[in-house]
Structure 1
Amino acid sequence: MLPPDQIKGALAFLREAERLKDVLRSGHTSNGRPESTAEHTWRLCLMAVLFADDLGDIDIAKLLKICIVHDLGEALHGDIPAIDQSADGNKAAQERADLEALTRPLDAKRRAEILALWQDYAAAASPEARLAKGFDKLETILQHNQGRNPADFDYAFNLGYGVKQTAAHPLLAALRAVLDDDTRARVAAQQSAGGRG
């Protein structure tokens, strides 16, 4: 049984993590509502579960844990849309600092595990982290293509987004090929409609 202080710390952490439900992303759902980061994370985890048997010798529990924590730091300062991210690494540094703040109420063991999982993801150090990165990009592209986005939404951005990460495994590459076809169809439809999304 957990000591009361660890239970209180875990609940405090979960209360703060709940903020991720209100962090909105640039993509929209199929009903036209802005998607939250928590919703993105949920479907990312669902993708990992769905394709787990096709990934070879991986630790599915570790993959899911990485998927769950990969954007957790966004609960404090929000999401930076992929199209607005720069290569200077500020996003990762901010997310790391926010994750450190968010996990402060946790006991040392739980805090260290979450920070280590996030660091593994950020560095793409393990096979599970590389898969999580690839699935993260694919889930984003899937949502972009599926969503009822604003008329000026840049669907063509998808074609160059996450190419390196989605080439990390044959299954990721196969999924990417199908999603790229979907993107090209979405771009063509947008152009023929005169820019209407």
Structure 2
Amino acid sequence: MRQNRENEMDTLEKQIAFIRQAERLKSVTREAWTSDGRRESTAEHSWRLALLVGLLAPSFHVDVEKALMMCLVHDLGELYIGDISAVTRPDETQKHMDEERDVRRVLSLLPDGQRDDLLALWQEYNGNATEEARLVKALDKAETILQHNQGKNPSDFDYGFNLEYGKPYFSFHPLLKELRSILDAQTAARIREVESPEDEM
């Protein structure tokens, strides 16, 4: 009984250490701005992605709990190196290697079983082969586009980037195709708004 209690305490201490380290994602900023003009954090993006997945997942044949956890770990690789914007067109192979290194680093704080499970989940997301991964990957792009269209962005912000960003990920389900159409229409409206501002009186 005493040994079990000690094991539980050891597990809890490791989980708390991981959560303390994950707090850093609250300070990692992305190339996206909130509606009040503040740079968005990776943690905020992951939260709203999880909310989006939670709302839409019942329309798909997926394990909702698994998909939600995938949302929460999908950007752990930005914990130490930060967000590398797709706009800069980085070397994807090197980016993936750097992120996996850092995911392994932070997950090493967890008990072995949870460490292995979350690493496998992160790898599954990046492999984009399961229904959960495909859904989360598509909605990851969707949340980014939503934020771009909703944000109070710099004057030189490239809204045209949204029109092609992540488009292939939306092709595997009719609901995602419809979502993409809505997002593209919102982007087009935002472009018109920026290019043809109302005349000052």
Whether the TM-score (by the shorter chain) exceeds 0.5 is yes
Give the equivalent residue in structure 2 for 1:84.
88
Matched, 1:32 2:42: no
More off after superposition, 85-94 vs 161-170: 85-94
Provide the secondary structure at the position in 1 that maps to 2:146: helix
* Residue 148 (structure 2) pairs with residue 183 (structure 1): no
Q: Distance in 2 between matches of 1:161 and 1:90?
A: 20
Q: Which residue of 2 aligns with 1:141?
A: 145
Please give the secondary structure, in 1, of the residue aligned with 2:48: helix
User: Identity of counterpart residues, as a percentage?
Assistant: 48
Shift of 1:52: 2.2
1:192 is matched with which residue: 191, 196, 199? Answer: 196
Which is further off, 43-52 or 130-139? 43-52
* Partner SS for 2:178: helix
Kept in 1: contact 2:84–2:90 (CA 8 A) = no
Distance 1:59 1:88 in 2: 28
1:168, 1:65 → 2: CA distance? 22
Partner of 2:101: 97
- Residue 8 in 1 paired to residue 13 in 2? yes
RMSD: 1.4
Partner in structure 1 of residue 51 of structure 2: 46
Unaligned runs of 5+ in 2: none
Larger Rg: 2
Cα separation, 2, equivalents of 1:149 and 1:39: 17
Kindly provide the CA deviation profile for residues 55-76 of structure 1, in whole angstroms up to 9, marking residues without a partner as x.
2x21101111111110012111
What SS does structure 2 have at the residue aligned with 1:89?
helix
In structure 2, the partner of 1:106 is 110
Matched to 2:191, the amino acid is V
TM-superposition CA deviations, 1:161-195 (whole Å, max 9, x none): 0011122322111111001000011111111239x
Instruction: Measure the CA separation in 2 of the matches of 1:30 and 1:83.
Output: 20
Partners of 1:85 and 1:93 lie apart in 2 by 16
Distance 2:39 2:146 in 1: 14
How many residue pairs match? The answer is: 193
CA distance in 2: counterparts of 1:49 and 1:160, whole angstroms? 25
TM-score normalised to structure 1 length: 0.94
| CA distance in structure 2 between the partners assigned to 1:92 and 1:103 by the alignment | 16
For 2:177 and 2:94, the matched residues in 1 are separated by: 28
Counterparts of residues 123-138 of structure 1 (less than 5 Å) = 123-138=127-142
Q: Secondary structure at the match of 1:168?
A: coil
What do residues 85-104 of structure 1 show as CA deviations (whole Å, max 9, x unaligned)? 33542221111110000111
